[in-house]
Structure 1
Amino acid sequence: MRTLLVLLLLSTELGGVFGPATADAVAVSSGEIEVTITVTVATRPVSVVAHLVDPGDDQQTVTLGHQGDGEYAGAAVTERADLVVVFEAIGADGSSELSRPVTLIELGVDPTIMLDDTSVIGGDDDGLTLDAATERWGWAAVALGAAALSLVAWWALADYPKRRGKVKAGPQE
């Protein structure tokens, strides 16, 4: 019962013949995610597809398989982006009905999965890492800072023994 309530709260109504829809994603590489999309359709169409659209870029069409009780589901590997999803139900007579456009985040995908693994900074204990080039430049900056501090100390203390015994006298009359 609790699981059903959570699914209903996380689902998005699309209008028309489309009922609740959800999406989930898992990372498959540093630049890609696998998205699983589920939608409920009130009628019995011949086919249901999901159009994954990156505005200003390409579109990927995913065929959704019938899961029973009017539910259709499918999966696709895409880039890490909050793509726009439009569902299409195709009838036996060739007619089709489109849902309203929704984003993957609106369908329930965790927004943090959209981040590239190399774009975040943190310690090893929290699962976040730096890429090798950033780490190399970081150590170079630390070494340069230590060398600069050593030179300042040497410059400040280099003639200290010469000055130690001498006291500058004021103006003599």
Structure 2
Amino acid sequence: MNTVYIGLGANLNAPEAQLRNALDALSKSQELTLAQVSSFYASKPMGPQDQPDYVNAVAKLTTQLSAIDVLDLLQQIELQHGRVRKAERWGPRTLDLDILLYNDAQIATQRLTVPHYGLCEREFVVFPLLEIAPKLTLPGGQALADIAASLPHNGLTAISQYDEAASLA
């Protein structure tokens, strides 16, 4: 069984609802098991500041799928939730699902980089990940807690929880 951590983010069309719906889709997938979900966090946007704030979370999944198959499934869920891929980076979006970690793998292909290239610099990834995996060590040997200790919060604020039972009822 493979352990996968994914980052979730949205800042358009009711972002909290977008994350809840994406988590519901993940939990309903026969190929994945949703093991844990961090709190939902409000965060400032990366890049252009003339866009709404984001809602972010991190989820832990288990699966038999390969990393590329997980990526395909995540991109399918993004499309189902209105994601439009644009050339601009860091713009507003209805849903963004990123593979942060896949076991202890280090993957560098044209389609997928694991660990996610921005994992260590993004407070909206590090702190939610730390919440659900406080003893996590990254594939390069660095403790996530050490990364978090030197990373500013930049206004990151926990705002709500995902309740799987309530969402699927």
For the criterion TM > 0.5, the same-fold answer is no
For normalisation by structure 2, the TM-score amounts to 0.26
Q: TM-score, normalised by structure 1?
A: 0.26
More strand by share: 1
